[in-house]
Amino acid sequence: MARTTAKQRAVVALAIALGFHALSDILLWQRIFEANKLWTFDTDYQTGHVDVLYYWLDAKPIPDVLPWLDRSRLIFIRSAGGDVTNLELLASTAFWIGVWMGTLVLLPRIRSIRWRDRLGG
């Protein structure tokens, strides 16, 4: 029982830390990016999830079009031409969260299968 409690505390602490990181990163840095038009440097890593979090944490609606995401190579779900729309942004974010969650779920299972095979079980 003590192990479960320690694990639960670690998970809660991690969730709180990630929440504070998201608040500071999104609400502070995203504003700096917007004010100084620094989104031109986003194309190499931007998947759109930061924008979704920013608007969600700031209680703002996501704009209909997001032209600063047009050159992002990691937003696969979009129309052939024009600006990235809020629906395309949400679809891309859902895709990447699915990829990350799938990785988090599958990697430990793959490792345990490999360890079991190595041990001959």
Q: What is the pLDDT of residue 64?
A: 94
pLDDT: is 81 or 12 the higher one? 12
Whether the per-residue pLDDT at 1 is higher than 60: the answer is: no
Q: What integer is the mean pLDDT of 23-36?
A: 75
Residue type, 54: Y
Q: What is the pLDDT of residue 39?
A: 65
Q: What integer is the mean pLDDT of 30-42?
A: 72
67 and 39 in contact (C-beta within 8 Å)?
A: no
86 and 66 in contact (C-beta within 8 Å)?
A: yes
pLDDT: is 12 or 22 the higher one? 12
Give the percent of the chain with pLDDT over 70: 90
- CA 113 distance to own-chain centroid: 28
